[in-house]
């Protein structure tokens, strides 16, 4: 942390590592991928904030809500006019997922500031989920005998 004398108001600036440490300190328990899967089974909402390219390249988590990072606060604010219908209240258990667990920590801390007291992120992100061998909806490849059909219904990932 440094105070910038050259800034108009002399405000304090932080490194990205300092921001990440502060964000994670504000979050409730950051579940492992296995804990996130178990939490999803008991009603937690997994929210995938990765970009389309990452989801297309790496796959999806069944049942995860797909919300782009640049619209997250508007779609998650339970009192906002643009909230997603899956957002039911400030005490809802939300687990954000990015590719490696950095961007989602910063985003979850922002949701905490909106009053979503049970917002957190998954430790290690989607990469850790896939590395743990947990279910991933893969994109079909050319020549695949039985292609996976990925349907995004109301912004939730489903497969058949």
Q: Is residue 96 a contact partner of residue 107, using CB atoms and an 8 Å limit?
A: yes
Low-confidence ranges of the chain (pLDDT < 50): 142-151, 159-160
**Which tens digit of pLDDT belongs to each residue from 109-153?**
999 999 999 999 999 999 999 999 999 998 655 444 433 444 455
Instruction: Tell me the domains of the chain and their CATH numbers.
Output: 29-159 (3.40.250.10)
Query: pTM of this prediction?
Result: 0.83
Res 7: pLDDT: 58
Half-sphere exposure of 153 (CA within 13 A, CB side): 8
For 117, the token pair is 């007291």
Rg (CA), the chain: 17
Res 25: pLDDT: 96
Res 149: pLDDT: 41
Res 11: pLDDT: 83
């Amino acid at each position: 942390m440094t105070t910038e004398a050259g800034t108009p108001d002399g405000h304090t600036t932080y490194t990205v590592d300092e921001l990440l440490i502060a964000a994670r300190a504000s979050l409730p328990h950051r579940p492992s991928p296995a804990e996130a899967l178990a939490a999803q089974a008991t009603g937690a909402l997994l929210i995938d904030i990765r970009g389309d390219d990452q989801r297309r390249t790496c796959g999806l988590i069944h049942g995860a809500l797909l919300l782009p990072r640049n619209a997250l606060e508007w779609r998650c604010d339970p009192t906002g006019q643009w909230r997603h219908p899956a957002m039911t209240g400030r005490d809802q258990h939300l687990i954000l997922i990015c590719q490696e667990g950095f961007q989602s920590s910063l985003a979850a801390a922002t949701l905490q500031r909106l009053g979503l007291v049970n917002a957190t992120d998954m430790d290690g992100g989607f990469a850790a989920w896939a590395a743990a061998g947990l279910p991933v909806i893969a994109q079909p490849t050319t020549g695949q005998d039985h292609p996976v059909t990925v349907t995004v219904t109301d912004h939730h990932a489903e497969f058949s």
